[in-house]
Structure 1
Amino acid sequence: MERIEHMFTKNPEGQQMNEDGTEPSGPPGEGDAPVMPARQDGARPAIVRRAREYTGTPADDRSVGSYGDSKKLIVGRDIALNGEISACEKLVVEGRVEANMKECREIEIAESGTFKGEAEIEIAEVSGVFEGSVSARKLLIVRSTGRVNGKVRVRQLEVERGGEISGEIEIIPDTGDSE
């Protein structure tokens, strides 16, 4: 067999041999080959997890929540929404909404929120700004930071000190049935 100048060669039986023609003393991988340093488990990069913005119902509860939870729409602080909203159990406005609401149960306008349009609902709670026409079949609450401008039809009205209502106000007569 012709010897080629390599670190290892093979003998006629196919076994690996050292440069000097002797067989290696141990299994492949042992001997003069450099050894990798042991891995240390303590040196791992930290995983940064993003905190959830909304701290309401836990995610597990919302996925199998009640009927009301599944039809909740939240418009965040820096979001603008235009259009028509229907069949919504609860609308929470933290940003800006220009829309007409029908067949909805409740609207909550946060201090940072603005709603422009028409709303036919059962309950309205205004801490921000409402401009337009609101018909609250049960209750309208204007918080101390809230302003309502426009046409208001309501069965019951609560206005905290500092809250403002300007425009036309009509009280819906109580018919005695519980809606």
Structure 2
Amino acid sequence: MQPTHEHAETSYEPFRIDADWPGRAEVRQKILSGNKLTASHKAEILETETLNEIVRSFSECAPAKRFVPYIEMHEFEVLLFSDAHILAEKTGIDISRIKSVLKAYPNPEEIDDDPAKAPGKRLATLRNGYRKVAMGKAVSEAIGIHAIRKQCPHFNNWLTKFEHLVGCAHGKA
């Protein structure tokens, strides 16, 4: 019998996964058919098909209850756009420039729609000398996980799944 308290998860950026990854063909076909997919919808397709493939390949391990696929449809920096004021304060970027980026998208998670315009590249363009690790850490700590979760629904859903697993493992769900 497999231990039920062990879980696995993935975290991938879609620009880095192989063309034959489960769900990639479906996403590509929908886009070629003229469908406008949000980042969250693309992630949902990829995550569902990834889980389906894991279930098919490892059915004896009950992966549907123990595996949490997560396709991070953005770079870490997109989470920093959760609070424009803190991002501006901690990086020295003019807030109007940050708000200009945010205005084009329904939520921060939709910002990374093109590898050439990735959030880290946007921040480096907005602030010469942007330091991904040091500034990213300072900004994310200042914003806090609750504000990030509120502004980034896909990220929040991923964390909620983990909270549910922990609750199940401790008899709380």
TM-score range, shorter chain: under 0.3
Structure whose alpha-carbon radius of gyration is higher:
1
TM-score normalised to structure 2 length: 0.19
Structure with the largest fraction of helix: 2
TM-score normalised to structure 1 length: 0.18
Structure with the largest fraction of strand: 1
